[in-house]
Every structure is written in structure tokens, then in C-alpha cells.
Structure 1
Amino acid sequence: MRALIFDGYVDEPACFGVPPYISPYPRYIAGVFFSHGVEVDYITVDSWRAKENKFSFLNSYDMLVVIAGLTVPGRYRGGTPLTLSELEEISFSVRRPFKLLCGPIKHGYSLKGGKLAKGVKDLPFDLLALGDPCAVLDSHLKGLTNPMAKRSYADLKRWAVLGASIITLHESFPRVICEVETGRGCERKVHCSFCTEALLGTVEYRPPEDVIEEISALYSFGCRAFRLGRQPNLFAYMSIEGRPNVGAIDALYRGIRKVAPNLKVLHMDNANPWYIAKYEDECFEIARVISRYNTPGDTAPLGLESADPIVIKRNNLKATPRESLKAIEIINRAGGWKEGRELPKLLPGVNLLYGLPGESRNTYELNFAFLKGVLERDLLLRRINIRQVMVFEETPLYEMLGHKPPKVNKKLFETWKRRVREEVDLPMLRKVAPFGTVIRGVIVEEVKGNISFGRALGSYPLLVGIPMPLKVGEEVDVFVVDHGHRSITALPIPLRINSVPLSALEAIPGVGKGRAKRILERRPFKNRKELLRSLDDPSVIRDLLDFIDLPDEGD
């Protein structure tokens, strides 16, 4: 038997799989296939779109597993998730292989926020996995097909390691980030109205040794970037009777560093602000542990969702504004330090969600006031995510809205979003990544005229504009010279002052067009002293000397 894993990408509250991320789903499914001796191929939806004979390619296999589904709204630069029309085409046009559809798509399909998800149960797939995809596939291959099959972490221990090699077939390999599961299910007794994580059932945590073993396997196949995701609150990992377990998290991170000594990225995802505020001392220690072993630029996204007490109450949201503010302060205090000139080790992020019951014009004002308050207290936020809710049938929100799409005043939403970007995001970014901040491993994604755009691997990486043409795919270290609302302008390290174009020289703060032309006319320079002598005001470039590829006088 020949099987194909078709990765249409996933985005869930606690799991991400849009490039450069690769989610656990294809790795676990590959592990199941390998355990049954099945020959397996893997392809992403973006690679499939580029094929001339797309459907004949799919029809050449004996079994097709399609992974898809977005249950949180997002905007994606690394890839374009499978669309509903493409899914329908596959379901009707691919006839030869046995077709299994799995992933969060089981809850319905929606590509953006502010929408009611559409059901997919009527599509002509041979099997829709309503349970855990890997367990459903295993039951089918054993001849005991059970669409509701569930897997245990004992099952996963073997499949996760067996399937690790599939990452080498990803179009972006080795520049991929493996999303690694540490647990699933929310520890809260009453869940947010909109969230699909509660549908997973009882909270369970994956043993540290199993997580470490999987990362060791992924590392052995060439992965160097990892994010501890697939859980709604890493601070509650392996909690004992609800209380944080600092020792377990320390053992997890230490173990990862031991088996992956030369990793480039170790980041986390998801934290509950109420939990951090309630268990302040333990969570402060956990944040210290994370920031000790992680890599710079890590983010702990907090599910604030709303600062409006009416919205919080009606939708059973996680935390009050006071609790969220306390959580932000704790993470800043524990993780806001830097290694040299790099980004802070661990900062909080904030998620805001619109379209929830109880929302009014006052909601926008309260949310904005909360963010301004964070800024005025000189606390740092790495990311502010403003979204519109998606509605899925099994969630309480579906009933609360009377089975109708959420109502969001688009004009109001865009007006306040713009204010946040201009009055909070921009000054916040100047604090998080001030002039001279170093960002390593920026990968050039596209070039427009004299500007190259790229991002580093990591959680919520900053978009970097480099004012000079570079090669797509080139990887460079950069230092920050200017800021946009959610992006930065940066120059390469080292800055080859004798060869960079005029556009790069003009981007240096304080240099401008006149001084840039003077540098251009008087180069090449033999050393830094010559460069400084060429300027009417040498102080404008003195702070950059460590980045410039010139020797000191006499070297």
C-alpha cells in the first residue's frame, strides 16, 4: 500500500501548523502508517497547488489522508490553508484512494473570523475522523474502523518517534518549526464560550520524558526549531491538584536542551493570565525557568480576549483586566531580560477577540484603555493579536448567537484596531526592539524593488524590511534601525559600508540622503577612523561601529 499525507494546515487554540510550522498531526499519522509497514509520502497544500496534474497525482495513491481545519482566525504569510472549494474538489475528483479527512476540520470550515463555520460531514470522504486522527487511522488499518477512536499518551509515545522522519519531506525543510505537544484540554472547569479546546475532554499532560524523546528524534532528522504548543496553558503543565509544577517544567526544558544542544529556536505557546495571577510565586519561577532555557524573542500569549466586565461574564472568559495586568507584570519581571543586544527572552502577548455576546462600543474603549495602561506602566508586550471570533456548532457560543454569525461593527473594529496599531503597537515595539537590537537568522521571503522582506524562525516573528536587494532564501543577522506598527527596518550584520547600496546608507538613523551620498562618494574606507572623518557629525554613526565591517585604525 502507498499512502499520501496531504497537509492542508491547521490552526487551533492550542496547535499551529501553517509553514514554517509543521503540526503534530502529519507526524503522528506517519508514525501510525510506519507502524503498519505502509509506504508513506507527504505533501503540503502549497506544493500540491504547484503541480500540473494535481488530481491525477492524488489518484496515484492507495490511501489519502487530508489534514485540515482552522478554528481560530489568523493571517498567514508562510502558506495558504486549504480552501473549502479545494476540499470539495478533492472529495469529488479523487476516486481511486481511500480518503480519510481529519483534523479540526471535523468542527466545520471557516477561513476567517466573524463567520459561522460550515459543516463538512456531507462531503464524499470515505471516513471523517471524529476522534483522534492517528487513533482512527490505526483502527482502520487494523480492520476495526472506529471514527471516534481516541489515543492515549502510551500510544503516542511510539507513533510520535516513528513519524519524526516525515518532516524531511516538508517543502521548507530544514527551515521548519516543529510544534510539539505537551498536553491537551483546558484545566478550567468552566470554559470560554467560543473555544474548541474544551471539546477535547479531560485535561491530560504528556510525560516530560516522552516529549524529550520525540524532540530527540526530530533533532536527529535535522530539526533545529521547536515550539512547545498543543496545550492551552504551559504554566499548568503537569500541575499537582491544580497547582503549578515548577520541577516538571524545569526537567522538561533541561531535558530538551540536553538532547538538542545546538537548537536554534525553543519557544512556547499559550498561557492563562488568571492562573499566573493566582499562583504568582510558582508562575514567576516557571517564567524564570523558561527564560533560562529558551531562545530570545519568546512569547507567552495571554488569552485576555476582552477587558469589558460584561463580555467577560457572559462568555466565561479566563481573567479580569486586573488579573491579566498582574500576569503581564509577572512575566515581564521574570523574562524581560536580554542576552546582549538581542530581543527580550520572554515577554507576554495579548489576544483580543471581537464578536462576543455583550459587546458594545464601550468594549473597544475598555480594551484600548487596558493596552494604553500597560504601555504607560512601562510594561512590555511582544504581540497584540486583534481578531474576530469564529463560531463552531459544538461550542456554547453557537447557541448563544442563535446559530447565526457574530455581529461585528466592521467600521468600529477597523477604527479601533488602527488606533491600537498607531498609539500602542508602534511605541511598544520601540521599547521591545530599540535601535541596535540584534535579530538573528532572518530568512528573506520576498524582494520588492530595493527592499527585502523576511522573518526569523520563531513564535510570532517580527516582519523585517531590509532596504537593499538580497536573494530570496538568504539567511542574515540584522540590527534594528527603525520601526513600523508591527514591523521593523533593519540592516545586515556585518554592515559592509564599502559596498552596500545608497538605500541602505540612507536608512541609518541620522545619516539621511546628504550624508549617505557623502559616504558613497568617499568610500572605500580603510578603517573606522576614515569613515568617521568623512562625516560632518561623526556621532550619528558612532553607535553603529560594532556592526560595521571595517577595522579599527592600524588593524
Structure 2
Amino acid sequence: MTKEIVIVLIDGYIDDPAALGVPPYISPMIRSIAGAALDAGADRVEYISIDMIRRHRKIPDAAVTVVLSGNTVPGKYLRTMPMSLKELKEIAPKLKGWKMISGSAADSEEAGLFDFVIRKDPAASLYDGICGKEVGERFRTLEEWNRWMLLGADIVTQHQDFPDPLVAEIESYRGCHRYKSGGCSYCIEPLKGRPLMRAPKDILAEASRLRELGVRNIRIGGQTCIVSYGSEDDSEIPRPNPSAVRELFEGLNSMGFSTIHVDNANPAVIASYPEESREVLKILADNCTDGNVLALGMESADPFVVTENNLNSTSEQVMDAVRLINEIGSERGPRGMPKLLPGINIVCGLDGETPATYDMDMEILRRMRDEGLMVRRINIRQVLPVRRPFNVKVDQRRFKKFKEEVREEIDRAMLESIVPYGTVLKDVYLELNDGNTTFGRQIGSYPLLIGIPYKLDTEQFTDVFITVWGFRSITGITYPFDINHMPMSSLEALPGIGKKRASKLVLERPFASMEDLEKVIEDPHVMDGLRD
């Protein structure tokens, strides 16, 4: 009797420009590794996340152990963090069989503890190794890609967030249309070459399998520009193909997912082909879940920085794209959010940057605000020298001041516009308690962080009535709000109530009508807010 071949996958979480893998997301890369292992003849694949290990889950025996970890675009996370290098160093000696590591952690000193260090495509390298071939660096073929995503889909059921709030990231294509010129100076996607597009039928087959397994939430990611999906134009600014986008997203919409979101878009494509882009944006607004965000790669509004780093687009192209997305996507959807809004990515520390660069970046954001345009997310970060070194030393005080200016002048104004007082956001998933505050988010790309100023049970859904805006988050109360039965801590959170009035309400309730309540409140302005 032959011994069972077991492959263990350690998910340390990855966070890359074109793919998310930090919970609630599960990355397509870890699923493709599982599929490649099974395709090569493995009997079983065990998925273990770093959070499971943190909770003392034992790492099982295996013929091969693969670690996927590293974040090239580190962000702020709510419930967990990617695996640290310290954790990687502690875990490596405990791994069984021959050991492989991939993700940006492959460039760390700790990667020396592994037998194979893979930087291109760990799924393809693992497949070759199990099949008895040399474990080298190569990208998967399109046929392998589609086959492995189907075979590896089942590991989603082993994830700690399955079925909610898990979001399965699904890749649409690999590479970048700007590969001939090298693309943006800091980005690794152009190094993957000419875009290799997955056909709508293949993406839909993967999505159908995930839905069959019980996945409720998906994001179509893994691309540099979703508006360019399906384009057969090999130029740097490809003409969109609305028919391919329609086939894909109408098919996804028919499957009954709770959440369908997307990610990146090139502003130059939207600005250069407004009619085709308008059609694509309308398809996304009609077939995806509201709260959807198209992250636009502006990176810098400084024309010299744009030239020096071969960036995607000019500031005017960014403005045109933001206007068009607002025109198509600003209508509010059933969950309470605008259907489709732009996000803006700004990268500091690029070649050619000067103090004036920050002023130009600030000026374009002010223009968006003053025109009444909505921008859901402004992501400001310092460049990481993943692809090559950069000559600019970032003035940390100036960088911090710039971020503070954006938060104070732009972000809050945007939140007030996107979720005005009294907006009811539906299906907010409550994730954690911090003292007497409960934090939750709607499931999807870049969801708003919502604080509810009283303690609630987590891991459940609720609707929230928005009352206050911060710089990057909002505050609200559960909706509907039963004033006759809610605890005093929640009454204090009502607009204009406070501790003294809350005590009085507790003593005087129950209230049969708003008129009864008004007699106790004795302030028409406070009552106006409560009636809303």
C-alpha cells in the first residue's frame, strides 16, 4: 500500500497591487497552489492559515510544505496581520517534507531556511516538483491556470472566515498592457509580460464552483485595469471591449453571490475611450454590488514625476476618469452605498519628487472635492523598492503632514458626501469589540469602517444608521433602534442625547409615541435628529 501524498499549504497572507489575500480575502494564488498539487498527483491538500497557527493549530506531516507570505503594499488591517518574519523564522524548522516559500517573503533572509525559494509562480514550480521535474521558475500556461483554479477551489471551505465574511479573489488576467515600455517604475506587473487573458467562460466556471461550495462573496481582481478586460488591442492604452465585460459580469450576477466587487482601473483608458468606458462602467454598476470601488492608479499629479516614472496617466486624465465614474456610479444601491466610485492611489518617494509634488497632489484632490465629486478611498503610501531602488529620500515630516492634510481637508468631506447623516448601511458584518465600541464593515473591496459606540455580539450582520463622520471611518447606531429596550450605553450614543438625557430616558420609558419622547427630550433640534 503506497503512502498518501499530503501537501500542506501555510497561508501567511499576501497583499499585492493586483491581488488581496489578507482576511477576509483568500488569495487566488493559494488556491492555484492547491490545484497544482492535486493535478500533479497529490492525494490531499491541507490548508492552514497563520491565524490557525497562532491559535495553536498543529502543523501536520507532509511530503511538501509550501508557505505563501508577504505584502508588497502593506496596509492597515482590522482583525489580523500577515505573517511576520519572526513568525516565519519560528515556523520554518517545524515544517515537514521539502519546503518551498513564495510571496515577497521569498526575498527575506528567513527564506534561506527553505529548500526552494520561488519568486514567479509557486503553483507552476510545485507542479513540476511533484511531477519529478526540475523545480525552477516559470509562469503557468493558460490551460494550467484554468484547470488549477477549479481543482483548488475546495480549500476555501478550510478557511477560518468561510462562508462569511470570506471574499474569494478571482483573477481575470496576468500582466500589463504597458509591458513594452516597462510600465510604471515601481510595479512588478509589467514584468509578467503581455496580458494573458482568461476567457469569460473560464472565470465563470471558477466562480460557479466557488458558489457551489458555499462562497458568497467574490472580487474580480488580479488585473491592472478591469476596464481593459477582454481587450484585443495590444497598445499601451487599449480600447475597452464592453462585450467581454458584459458576458463576464452578467454571468456572475446570475449566480446569486451576496457581493461582487472589482479593483484596479487605468484612468488613461477611461479618459481616452469615454464611450466604451461609459458602457463598461454601466455594466459594472448594474451587475456588481454597491460600495464597489475602482482604484485608479494616479500615483502622482506632478507631470515631471509622471514622466520620470513612466506612470499610467496625467492628472487631467485622472480628473476625466473620476468625473465619468461619478456620473455612472453615484446612484445609491440597495445596501446604502453609491454603486461604483473611484479610489485614488498616491505613491510618494518616486523619482523626480520635490516638495512641490505634494502641493500638486493636494491641489487635484481639492479640485475633486470642490467639484462635488465623490472619491471613496485615497490610498497614500511610500514606494517600496521591490522592482528597483529609488533615488528620492522621503521627508517623513512632509509625508506625515501631507497625509494629515488629506485626512482633514478631503477624507471627511468625502465621507459626508458618500454617507450623509441618516444613511442606513445594510448588512454590516460586526467583527470585533474594542472596549464598549463594536467595529464592523460591509463585505467587499475597501469597505468603510463603522464604529457602533456600544457593545454588540460579533460575527453577525446588522443595519447601521450613520450619525457621525471621522477622517477615515464613520459612527452609527443599529437600525431599527428600539429606544424602549436598548441599554443605556446605546442611548447615550444617540445624536444629542448624552449621559444625562439617557438616564432620564431609561427612567421614563416605555414610550408609546414620538410625542411622548418629545416631552422628555425637551429640545426640538434633538428631536429632529431622532425623527430622521
Same fold flag (TM > 0.5): yes
- Once the two structures are TM-superposed, the CA of residue 12 in structure 1 deviates from its matched residue by 1.1
Residue-by-residue CA offset, 1:477-503 (whole Å, 9 max, x unaligned): 112111100101011122121122333
Taking the aligned partners of 2:528 and 2:283, their CA distance within structure 1 comes to: 37
Query: Does the 8 Å contact 2:7/2:42 carry over to 1?
Result: no
CA 1:185–1:533: 2 relative to 1, 3 Å: same
Q: Normalising by structure 2, what TM-score?
A: 0.93
> 2:59–2:95: 8 Å Cα contact kept in structure 1?
no
Letter of the aligned partner of 1:186 in structure 2? C
**Aligned twin of 1:133:** 122
2:65 maps to which residue? 64
SS in structure 2 opposite 1:58? coil
Q: Within 1, Cα distance between the matches of 2:7 and 2:359?
A: 53
1:519 to 479, 490, 505: 505
Structure 2 matches for 1:38-53, cutoff 5 A?
Answer: 38-51=43-56
Q: Which residue of 1 aligns with 2:24?
A: 20
Higher relative contact order (CA 8 A, sep 6+): 1
Further displaced range: 96-105 or 342-351: 96-105
TM-superposition CA deviations, 1:404-432 (whole Å, max 9, x none): xx511111111111111011111111001
Q: Does 1:321 align with 2:315?
A: yes
User: What does residue 99 of structure 1 align with?
Assistant: 99
CA pair 146-10 structure 1, distance change in 2 beyond 3 A: same
Matched, 1:3 2:10: no
> What is the alpha-carbon distance in structure 1 between the residues aligned to residue 369 and residue 462 of structure 2?
31
In the TM superposition, residue 528 of structure 1 has moved relative to its aligned partner by: 4.4
What's the TM-score once normalised by structure 1's chain length? 0.89
**Structure 2 match to 1:409:** 395
CA distance in 2, matches of 1:541, 1:44: 49
Q: How many residues align?
A: 520
Q: Deviations over 1:285-321 (max 9, x none)?
A: 1111101011111100001111111211111111111
Distance 1:30 1:541, change over 3 A: farther
Q: 1:248 aligns with which of 238, 244, 250?
A: 244
Q: 2:368 aligns with which of 366, 374, 387?
A: 374
- Cα distance, 1:527 vs structure 2: 4.1
Q: Which of 463, 466, 473 is 1:477 aligned to?
A: 463
SS of match in other structure, 2:495: coil
Query: 2:207 is aligned with what amino acid?
Result: I
1:257 corresponds to: 253
Structure 2 counterpart of 1:350, one-letter code: I
The superposition leaves residues 162-194 of structure 1 with CA deviations (integer Å, 9 ceiling, x where unpaired) of 211101111111120001101111112431110
Secondary structure of 1:459 counterpart: coil
Distance in 2 of aligned mates of 1:534 and 1:289: 51
Query: Which of residues 129, 133, 139 in structure 2 aligns to 1:144?
Result: 133
Alignment partner of 1:440: what SS?
A: strand
Superposed counterparts of 1:169-318, under 5 Å: 169-175=158-164, 176-188=166-178, 189-190=180-181, 191-241=183-233, 242-258=238-254, 260-261=255-256, 263-318=257-312
Gap change, CA 1:503 and 1:427, over 3 Å in 2:
farther
Partner AA of 1:278 in structure 2: S
1:231 maps to amino acid:
Q
Aligned-pair CA distance for 1:268:
0.5
* Contact 1:341-1:437 at 8 Å conserved across structures: no
Q: In 2, Cα distance between the equivalents of 1:215 and 1:544?
A: 43
Kindly indicate whether residue 57 of structure 2 is the aligned counterpart of residue 74 of structure 1. no
3-state SS in 1 of match to 2:69: strand
Distance in 1, matches of 2:65 and 2:334, equals 49
Decide which moves more: 432-441 or 273-282. Answer: 432-441
State whether residues 8 and 60 of structure 2, in contact with CA within 8 Å, keep that contact through their aligned partners in structure 1. Answer: no
Is the 1:341–1:436 contact (alpha carbons within 8 Å) kept by the matching residues of 2? no
User: 1:490-520 deviations in whole A, cap 9, x for unaligned?
Assistant: 1112212112233333333344455444433
Task: Name stretches of at least 5 consecutive residues in structure 2 with no aligned partner.
Answer: none
Query: What is the match of residue 553 of structure 1?
Result: none
Unaligned runs of 5+ in 1: 110-118, 547-555
CA contact (8 A) 2:21 2:27 kept: yes
**2:341 corresponds to which residue?**
347
Residue matched to 2:87: 86
CA contact (8 A) 2:153 2:209 kept: yes
SS in 1 for 2:132: coil
Question: How far did residue 358 of structure 1 move?
Answer: 1.1
Give the whole-Å Cα distance in 1 for the aligned partners of 2:352 and 2:493.
Answer: 47
Mean Cα displacement is larger for which, 378-387 or 197-206? Answer: 197-206
Q: Is the 8 A contact 1:343 1:433 kept in 2?
A: yes
Partner of 1:551: none
1:498 partner letter: N
- Give secondary structure in 2 for the equivalent of 1:489: strand
Note if contact 2:293-2:445 (Cα within 8 Å) is conserved in structure 1. Answer: yes
The range that moved more, 373-382 or 497-506, is: 497-506
Task: Please give the secondary structure, in 1, of the residue aligned with 2:285.
Answer: helix
Equivalent residue for 1:494, pick from 480, 485, 503: 480
> Could you say which residue in structure 2 is the equivalent of 1:30?
34
CA distance in 2, matches of 1:30, 1:97: 16
Per the TM alignment, residue 531 of structure 1 is displaced from its structure 2 partner at its CA by 3.3
Following superposition, which runs of at least 4 residues in structure 1 exceed 6 angstroms of deviation? Answer: none
Q: 1:455 aligns with which of 437, 441, 444?
A: 441
Q: Does 1:428 align with 2:417?
A: no
**CA distance in structure 2 between the partners assigned to 1:537 and 1:338 by the alignment:** 32
